[in-house]
Structure 1
Amino acid sequence: MSAYPFNDLPVELPEAAVLMPFVDQPDPELILTVRAQGMPTHAGEVAFPGGKRDPGDRDLLHTALRESHEEVGLAQREVEVIGQLSPLASRFGMKVTPFVGVVRAGVDLTPEPGEIETIFQVPLSFFLEEEPELSPPIDFYGRRLCMPSYYYEDKRIWGLTAFMILDLINHVYDADVRFDLTGEK
């Protein structure tokens, strides 16, 4: 595996952070949520636990862990943080930084009813075996991107969530799913 090429996002936007929690088991599973229908942004969409940085947060990792505890009841002591991925811009004008963590199998999770409709898990092998559907290229914050979508059971995993998953599997597993066409003719 090559070294992870961290790419900062050279735009000034409000900051947010998410946790990409993996369940530690032979076929690791990624913990995802479906956001509540009443949420002001991303209502009903699949997302990682996370949210906007509060003024009292020490750093973005603290934001990701605090929000994960608030949204799904995942205590900080239950998470072994193993890395940070490159930040991405959301369509709502947020700079979102993902952190990758591992939690033990059987960890107790409870959705916060006002924010989270449901919590579910997807085997990592699903993302390694399934090719995402890619949209025609769009220009977004100076990059030329194809929007990825995965369909798992009755859920569509797309947008920033899918970009983060692809960033991880492209660099850890050399999946070579091409979604960033920046610089190509």
Structure 2
Amino acid sequence: MPDLRTRLDDALARTGDASSDFDLNKDVIPPDCRLTPAAVLVAIRAETETVILTKRSARLKHHPGQIAFPGGKQDPGDPTPEHAALREAEEEIGLPRQMVDVVGALPPHQTVTGYQVTPILALVRGVYSPLPEIGEVSEVFEVPLAHMLDLRNYRVEGRRWQGRKRLYYAIPHGPYYIWGATARILRAMAGAMQ
């Protein structure tokens, strides 16, 4: 079996088109709108082959308590999505940039909230102890990469949002309900690694 870095490089070479929160809801695609650039870090610990995720603070105005990758809006001082993802990971979970080996970018993902999110795929090497920024992150945890790559673990669920039923991907793991954009990005990665 090829090593993890080789598998990730091969997956990036096979990635498909951009994804969207509207993939499962073709009837609600909004008219052309201006999207805000953002980036997230899909960080995989090399030694344990686990994906680092966060649980957002319940005090946040947007997406409180949801499971997410470290990341956020691309600021004017961020020359690239990669820079934004690394900066946000350092701010949100205390992940030092020198521990991160960027593999590349997955196709962008459009969110229903108006963001064009670039997922930056990376390996984390060495001993890292998370330091969550308490105002934004209530918990940092890890999920086995093998769980995320098994397409049988994904399911399509739905809920009412803005007066209509919206479908989305979910991939629960233990007490964590991973859904929406985070699950969709993971599913795209899993598809590329098959």
TM-score relative to the length of structure 1: 0.81
1:90–1:7: structure 2 CA closer, same or farther, 3 Å change rule?
closer
For residues 146-185 of structure 1, the aligned pairs below 5 Å read: 146-172=167-193, 174=194
Other-structure match for 1:139: none
Which amino acid counterpart does residue 16 of structure 1 have in structure 2?
A
1:58–1:109: structure 2 CA closer, same or farther, 3 Å change rule?
same
| Distance in 1, Cα, partners of 2:145 & 2:14 | 21
1:72 to 81, 85, 93: 93
Which amino acid counterpart does residue 171 of structure 1 have in structure 2?
A
1:37–1:80: structure 2 CA closer, same or farther, 3 Å change rule?
same
Question: Is 1:52 aligned to residue 73 of structure 2?
Answer: yes
| Distance in 1, Cα, partners of 2:14 & 2:70 | 26
Other-structure match for 1:178: none
Compute the displacement of 1:11 (Å): 5.7
Other-structure match for 1:5: 16
Which amino acid counterpart does residue 14 of structure 1 have in structure 2?
T
Other-structure match for 2:51: 30
For each residue in 1:5-58, what CA deviation from the matched residue of structure 2 results, as whole angstroms up to 9, or x when unmatched?
Answer: 353888631111000000012x50000000001112111000000001111111
Q: Which has the higher helix share?
A: 2
With a CA cutoff of 8 Å and minimum separation of 6, indicate the structure with the bigger relative contact order.
2
Measured on the aligned residues, the alpha-carbon RMSD in Å equals: 2.3
Question: Which consecutive unaligned segments of at least 5 residues does structure 2 have?
Answer: 1-9, 21-31, 159-165
| Distance in 1, Cα, partners of 2:127 & 2:141 | 13
| Distance in 2, Cα, partners of 1:151 & 1:29 | 15
| Distance in 2, Cα, partners of 1:37 & 1:128 | 28
Which amino acid counterpart does residue 163 of structure 1 have in structure 2?
R
Question: Which consecutive unaligned segments of at least 5 residues does structure 1 have?
Answer: 137-144, 175-185
2:36 to 10, 14, 28: 14
For each residue in 1:35-94, what CA deviation from the matched residue of structure 2 results, as whole angstroms up to 9, or x when unmatched?
Answer: 001112111000000001111111111100000000000111110000101111122111
The percentage of aligned residue pairs carrying the same residue is: 34
1:92–1:7: structure 2 CA closer, same or farther, 3 Å change rule?
closer
Q: Any conservation in 2 of the 1:85–1:97 contact (CA below 8 Å)?
A: yes
Question: Is 1:134 aligned to residue 169 of structure 2?
Answer: no
1:105–1:76: structure 2 CA closer, same or farther, 3 Å change rule?
closer
TM-score relative to the length of structure 2: 0.78
More deviation, 96-105/113-122: 96-105
